[in-house]
Amino acid sequence: MLTIKNLHAQVEDTPILKGLNLEIGPGEVHAIMGPNGSGKSTLASVLAGREDYEVTRGSVDFCGADLLDMDASVRAREGLFLAFQYPVEIPGVSNLNFMKAAINGKREHQGLEPISAKDFLALVKEKSALVELAGRLRDRSVNEGFSGGEKKRNEIFQMAMLEPTLAILDETDSGLDIDALRIVSQGVNAMRDAGRSFLVITHYQRLLDHIVPDVVHVLSEGKIVKSGPKELALELEEKGYDWIKEPAV
């Protein structure tokens, strides 16, 4: 589904990713952990198509197509989703108009008619209940006046609405209390299936108690330096990152 080969990327003139390789198969959940500054969020931004990031080398294949060649909106229409670490407030744009435009953008890309008002509202009702946001979205601007937890739940709501093939969760657990963490995780778990993959970027092991990964990777200085089963996350929690940063023996 996703094959990243020797990815190098920089912001302005500072190289951040320095030869990253990663392969995610359909239905798999991969976690990426690593210390601050290791390039976790840069990886998410590069994959989602943020413009300030320049890819200098390497390739990213997404379901057989060259991901790096696509505009951010096309990546989304092709089934990529990024749950933002800091969801953006957009005053004046209603949550529902926003989601409707997103869904219709995708449907147009697939050669489908725009969604009917009735189907759209039914979908909103179903998916917002999933993250316990029912009734909180109507008549409100995108993320405006939402608490930190609500913003993250709104990210998962949007993910559920758009049904991506690959979802990248960029530190979705940051700033969440234990209840919000549970709600967000339930939302994610409800969407796990054989055709959908997840890339979970996190600093802490606690999210991975709820969203159990198939593989855990450690990112350090722009490269994946270690990969292992879910138990690796526990080990990292216990020992920190320093032991991995040492050159492999």
Partner 1 sequence: MSQSSAVQDFVANVQAPEGALASLAQEGQEGLDVLPVPTRKSERWKYSPITAMLAHPVALAPAPDGWPADVEPNPVPGLEAYRIVLVNGHVVPEACDLPVADGVVCMPWRHAVDEGHLANFDWSGYHRREWVGALHAAYVQDGMFLHVDKGVTLDRPVLVHHHTTGDHTAACPRHRIVVEDQAHAEVILWHSASSGATGMVNGVLEASLGAGARLGLDKVQHEEGEVFHLAHEHVTQGKDSTFRIHSMTVKGHWVRNELNVVQQGQGAHTIMHGAYLPKDREHVDNHTTMDHTVPNCTSSELYKGILYDRSTGVFNGKVFVRQEAQLTNAYQQNANIVADAGASINAKPELEIYADDVKCSHGCTVGQFDDEALFYLKSRGIGDKAARALMVQAFIGDVLEGMSQEEVAQEVETLLADRHGWS
Which is nearer to partner 1, 141 or 174 (by Cβ)?
141
Strands (E) located in the chain: 2-11, 14-24, 29-33, 53-62, 65-66, 80-83, 90-94, 141-142, 166-170, 197-201, 215-220, 223-228
**Could you tell me which of 104, 186, 119 has the C-alpha nearest to residue 153?**
186
Q: Measure the CA–CA gap between 43 and 58, rounded to whole angstroms.
A: 13
Query: Does 82 interact with partner 1 (rule: CB under 8 A)?
Result: yes
Q: Residue 137 Cβ, how far from partner 1 at the closest point, in Å?
A: 14
Which residues within the stretch 47-66 sit at the binding site for partner 1 (CB under 8 A)? 48-51
Which residues within the stretch 176-235 sit at the binding site for partner 1 (CB under 8 A)? none
Q: Measure the CA–CA gap between 45 and 64, rounded to whole angstroms.
A: 20
Q: Measure the CA–CA gap between 61 and 69, rounded to whole angstroms.
A: 10
Retrieve residue 140's tokens: 């409100």
Query: Does 72 interact with partner 1 (rule: CB under 8 A)?
Result: yes
Which is nearer to partner 1, 109 or 245 (by Cβ)?
109
Pick one of 54, 69, 71, 209: the residue that binds partner 1 (CB under 8 A): 71
Which is nearer to partner 1, 103 or 188 (by Cβ)?
103
**Could you tell me which of 17, 12, 68 has the C-alpha nearest to residue 39?**
17
| Interface stretch with partner 1, choices 76-84, 122-130, 176-184, 226-234 (CB under 8 A) | 76-84
Which residues within the stretch 144-173 sit at the binding site for partner 1 (CB under 8 A)? 158, 162
Retrieve residue 60's tokens: 């990213």
Question: How many chain residues bind partner 1 (CB under 8 A)?
Answer: 32
Which is nearer to partner 1, 76 or 181 (by Cβ)?
76
Residues that bind partner 1 (CB under 8 A): 48-51, 71-73, 75-77, 81-82, 84, 87-88, 90-93, 97-99, 101-103, 105-106, 109, 141-142, 158, 162
